């Protein structure tokens, strides 16, 4: 009886390993996501130098990637403004100086494509709220990126998103908002990868070598600092409309 059980377990493990290797091979040779890029938008502000922010990338002992960002100070922006912005980001439009945009397109001048809520929040609240699955399509220089994340928490203290694919989570991205005398200190602590037994190492190797190569990470860090820096130019005016805005459509007037 014991021999039969062990034989069955061995067969199952062999089949699972074969499926894992096949999946890894398919993913390895799968080409980068291909989609058109929007023309750069002529927004009435110039982003500050992203290199002034503090960023750090570290490979953990199990192969996961740890990324830390200390964004440039957000003066005149309060933590509750940031929480509100992210909540309405995927469902809002804006008229800026007479031109209509998805709000997502103001968040970066030339590297944001589409963001949408694929699964609603647990309590049914529109937008990026707890339990919502939010998908985005963007690019970082020459590197296309398409993915989704499950909102684990969001309030004036910050936001936590769990990158998700096929119902599995591959790390955690923590946005941390701290009140300062002048506004908000905004930090991001991310760990990307898997802790699954046996196959976690393979998954992490694939993520490092195919999805988040060193060249792509540099561009991703630049992109993140630029998008958060852009909030200084329009978020206070947008937040001031919180109580009167209809159908999540805002009107902004910003001069150069």
**What is the rounded average pLDDT of the residues 143-163?**
96
Give the CATH number for residue 86: 3.30.530.20
Gap between the Cα atoms of 238 and 43, Å rounded: 15
48 domain residue, yes or no:
no
42 domain residue, yes or no:
no
Q: Look-up: residue for tokens 């003066």?
A: 75
**Residue 243: pLDDT band by 50, 70, 90 thresholds?**
very high
**Residue 244: pLDDT band by 50, 70, 90 thresholds?**
very high
pLDDT in tens, 33-68: 678 888 889 999 999 999 999 999 999 999 999 999
pLDDT value of residue 209:
87
46 domain residue, yes or no:
no
pLDDT in tens, 177-189: 999 999 999 999 9
Q: What angle do CA 45, 50, 54 make, to 5 degrees?
A: 145
First-to-last alpha carbon distance for the chain, in angstroms, is 79
pLDDT in tens, 119-143: 999 999 999 999 999 999 999 999 9
**Residue 9: pLDDT band by 50, 70, 90 thresholds?**
low
pLDDT value of residue 6:
58
For residue 159, pLDDT beyond 70: yes
Q: Look-up: residue for tokens 């947008």?
A: 238
Gap between the Cα atoms of 162 and 168, Å rounded: 9
For residue 112, pLDDT beyond 70: yes
User: Is the same domain home to 235 and 136?
Assistant: yes
Gap between the Cα atoms of 136 and 127, Å rounded: 13
User: Is the same domain home to 14 and 138?
Assistant: no
pLDDT in tens, 176-231: 999 999 999 999 999 999 888 877 888 888 889 888 889 999 999 999 999 999 99
64 domain residue, yes or no:
yes
140 with 213: CB under 8 angstroms? Answer: no
Domain total of the chain = 2
99 with 93: CB under 8 angstroms? Answer: no
**The tokens of 101 are what?**
């945009």
41 domain residue, yes or no:
no
pTM of structure: 0.87
pLDDT value of residue 200:
82
6 domain residue, yes or no:
yes
Angle between helices 214-239 and 79-88 (to 10 degrees): 100
State which residues form the domain around 188. Answer: 53-252
């Amino acid at each position: 009886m014991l021999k039969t059980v062990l034989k069955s377990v061995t067969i199952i493990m062999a089949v699972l390993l074969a499926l894992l290797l096949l999946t890894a091979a398919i993913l390895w040779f799968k080409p980068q996501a291909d989609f058109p890029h929007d023309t750069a938008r002529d927004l009435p502000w110039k982003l500050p130098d992203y290199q002034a922010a503090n960023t750090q990338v570290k490979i953990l002992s199990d192969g996961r990637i740890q990324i830390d960002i200390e964004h440039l100070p957000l003066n005149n922006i309060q933590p509750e403004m940031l929480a509100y912005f992210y909540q309405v980001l995927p469902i809002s439009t804006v008229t800026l100086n007479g031109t209509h945009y998805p709000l997502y397109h103001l968040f970066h001048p030339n590297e944001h494509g589409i963001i949408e809520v694929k699964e609603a929040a647990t309590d049914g609240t529109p937008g990026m709220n707890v339990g919502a699955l939010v998908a985005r399509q963007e690019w970082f220089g020459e590197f296309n990126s398409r993915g989704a994340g499950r909102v684990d928490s969001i309030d004036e203290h910050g936001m936590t998103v769990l990158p998700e694919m096929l119902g599995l989570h591959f790390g955690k991205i923590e946005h941390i908002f701290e009140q300062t005398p002048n506004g908000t200190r905004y930090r991001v602590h991310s760990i990307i990868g898997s802790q699954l037994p046996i196959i976690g190492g393979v998954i992490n190797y694939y993520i490092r070598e195919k999805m988040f190569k060193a060249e792509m990470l540099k561009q991703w860090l630049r992109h993140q600092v630029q998008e958060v820096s852009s909030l200084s130019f329009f978020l206070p005016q947008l937040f001031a409309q919180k109580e009167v805005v209809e159908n999540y459509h805002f009107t902004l007037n910003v001069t150069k």
